[in-house]
Structure 1
């Protein structure tokens, strides 16, 4: 790609010319080599320097910083984690589950704190998430979410009555204050510049072909190091060592032209608020700083062999579905135009359990498997990996995701059949609930297969 502004609305509006940095043109010897110029790698570099400013760090990126999910996501800096609190309690015990929840909630504020400390304007505004309940089944799900949060006593989720919400057909909503709206490309690009000012060297147009203990290979050069940080998320499927550890699942987004304040008053979404509902085929959105809708969702299929290609980033049928869904939720938008359409892969581990891992004996660190919840989780990953790699004795290194090992995805054709069957099951689940007015059996079966 030569025009990176076409990647997304966020890339098109970031105050940055997006000119690629210099590629690696000689063998290199550093303390830490980071594979991937997204938020996992950049946050890890940031906190490593906080722990030890003397470290020499190089970031190796195939395209440009923020090319992948870090620059194309929905702009939700939330406390969401791929596994529910109930699931974490079942797998790791109650205290570990609660510690994970507290860490995620704190991470939402930590992202804002760091951005403010370096004077980085990322349109950060903590307005929370409104989850609309647009049917009796969804209202029951909202009430269950609030009840579950009350049982654990960490997440401050509350139930909103029907008279407080304005989405079409909404019977109520749940509200979670632990989410901030932000502009992801401003965050990832700004963080990269801040790191360079602290001595980190970032090489773009530098494709890593493989890595091993204390070394990284690009197409032409070799990097020797004390530690390797693998921060490739969904793109891990393109590397031999991680080909079946991460499944690239595509998500799509649209952005509208700006809407006047009078329409936003009718819609009832404040600045800083993000929103979704309780359907199974996930949708997510925000009111941007310049009064647009940025709205996304699942629906794009998985591609054979975990392949990742630029042509997969745009699926017209999914874009049409998103525009219809947005209009169905908020009829007040009328015929507002869609100005941007984009998509890209995110990383899914086989058990839908994110990890931050470090093998000190081999000098290998990695994090990922965020399943779309990475805008905040990458920050927690960076702090956790920095503590593990520098030997810091902190509460973060005892969190239940540390050194969690997910099983590998099945070989083809089972991976293709299973991933796309899951997508179909979520579509069927929404249709089933609309038809029967009862919680979906298909959704229940899918939750059990992913450990939820």
Structure 2
């Protein structure tokens, strides 16, 4: 198993895209060549083909979580519907969920429009309850969805697929799909370049200087623009103009060796319907077109920078607990890296409170693929038509809720994240079945 590799066969590392050198003027400067930044650029150039858009990337296209995630494209945003109804009211809770559906459809349309080959496999997502407490929450969530007229299906234990029959219940969400996020990100960059986009790699932004027109400063150059888009998610803490309230945390993912046919037979439903555990850090699984199992979850720690070592033991244990057919499974590669989270579980998409020409999107809290791409499109539409009224959604805001800072706060947060990680390691994902015990008779946690 490789120690710090990506589960995906990225193709753009040896790019010929140059650094930014010298001084240049453009209409829109986008910081970050991940899904948010690239979708912003592509949408801008689609709306106005004559606009001069430049993307600055500190490393290379798809270097971060956009190119190394688990490839789950699905709806849902923010807290559970039961929480969202109490916090925001029924109208906003329903609109938010439907917005997440529109986000999925937007990605599907992008893939079709630009003919992006990213192993797109349409389907659904199954959120599974590992214990009775989670099953009760599933019933409540389904009732909330019914009250709001939302298409969330409750799946009782006896109707769960074979590879999930040790769980207590499920919630089926759609529309959804799986895909290769590295291919999506890299080919979205190519689609932008065909529309006239300029991308400078190995050009980390050091500061944004205000003035009559803002100037983005890198190690080797300066870029003056009418608008600046900050699309660096968890890496934005070093920029003074980045949104407040976004915390960087490091998560992990892994992919197994190629599965044998009996293993594939036991897990065949995971091709079109990934399995996602209910609760903090519970594992989630899906199959790739080349017959490998992708696993996420299991460990989390604070931090946006520095070395991030994956914890392959937990991911391997989660895979082996999923099915007896995987008892001897080994991992092929693993990755750990940062994502952005917020205190209320919602992203922040908007502009700087004192500088309306600085736009931002980040803090997707693990709902990355659909939310990041669609958030970029929203930013582009706001730049293209600043007088348009945005929808009344709680994450369209100038900053996320305030997060305390300091050594004591960081220590407390580190202890809390360590507690979540330890609890995940103790989670008995699959109960041992006694001889003669039926599925209906099992009461242990999954």
- 8 A Cα contact 2:351 2:398, kept in partner: no
The partner residue of 1:354 within 333, 347, 358 is 347
Q: In structure 2, how many angstroms separate the alpha carbons of the residues matched to 1:308 and 1:156?
A: 38
Closer/same/farther in 2, CA of residues 96 and 125 from structure 1, 3 Å limit: same
Question: Are 1:287 and 2:287 an aligned pair?
Answer: yes
- What's 2:117 paired with? 121
RMSD: 2.6
- What's 2:227 paired with? 227
Deviation at 1:397, TM superposition (A): 4.1
**Residues 242-281 of structure 1: per-residue CA shift (max 9 Å, x gap):** 4963211111111011213442222352422211122432
- What's 1:296 paired with? 296
Please say which of residues 319-328 and 139-148 is displaced more in the overlay: 139-148
- 8 A Cα contact 1:20 1:205, kept in partner: no
Q: How does 1:40-439 map to 2 (within 5 A)?
A: 40-166=36-162, 167=164, 169-213=166-210, 214-242=214-242, 245-302=245-302, 306=303, 308-309=305-306, 311-312=307-308, 314-315=309-310, 318-358=311-351, 362-391=356-385, 396-426=390-420
Closer/same/farther in 2, CA of residues 28 and 90 from structure 1, 3 Å limit: farther
Deviation at 1:375, TM superposition (A): 0.8
Q: Which SS does the other structure have where 1:174 is aligned?
A: strand
TM-score normalised per structure 1: 0.86
TM-score normalised per structure 2: 0.87
Deviation at 1:168, TM superposition (A): 6.1
Deviation at 1:74, TM superposition (A): 1.3
Q: Which SS does the other structure have where 2:295 is aligned?
A: strand
- 8 A Cα contact 2:217 2:223, kept in partner: yes
Please say which of residues 419-428 and 367-376 is displaced more in the overlay: 419-428
Closer/same/farther in 2, CA of residues 180 and 115 from structure 1, 3 Å limit: same
- What's 2:442 paired with? none
- What's 2:435 paired with? none
Closer/same/farther in 2, CA of residues 201 and 165 from structure 1, 3 Å limit: same
Q: In structure 2, how many angstroms separate the alpha carbons of the residues matched to 1:158 and 1:18?
A: 47
Looking at secondary structure, tell me which structure has more helix per residue. Answer: 1
Q: In structure 2, how many angstroms separate the alpha carbons of the residues matched to 1:76 and 1:217?
A: 35
The partner residue of 1:9 within 4, 7, 17 is 7
Please say which of residues 18-27 and 68-77 is displaced more in the overlay: 18-27
Unaligned runs of 5+ residues in structure 1 are: 435-452
Please say which of residues 177-186 and 276-285 is displaced more in the overlay: 276-285
Q: In structure 2, how many angstroms separate the alpha carbons of the residues matched to 1:219 and 1:212?
A: 14
Q: In structure 2, how many angstroms separate the alpha carbons of the residues matched to 1:286 and 1:395?
A: 39
Q: Which SS does the other structure have where 1:9 is aligned?
A: coil
Q: Which SS does the other structure have where 1:22 is aligned?
A: coil
Q: Which SS does the other structure have where 1:37 is aligned?
A: coil
Q: In structure 2, how many angstroms separate the alpha carbons of the residues matched to 1:365 and 1:408?
A: 19
- 8 A Cα contact 1:250 1:298, kept in partner: no
Deviation at 1:392, TM superposition (A): 6.2
- 8 A Cα contact 2:350 2:359, kept in partner: yes
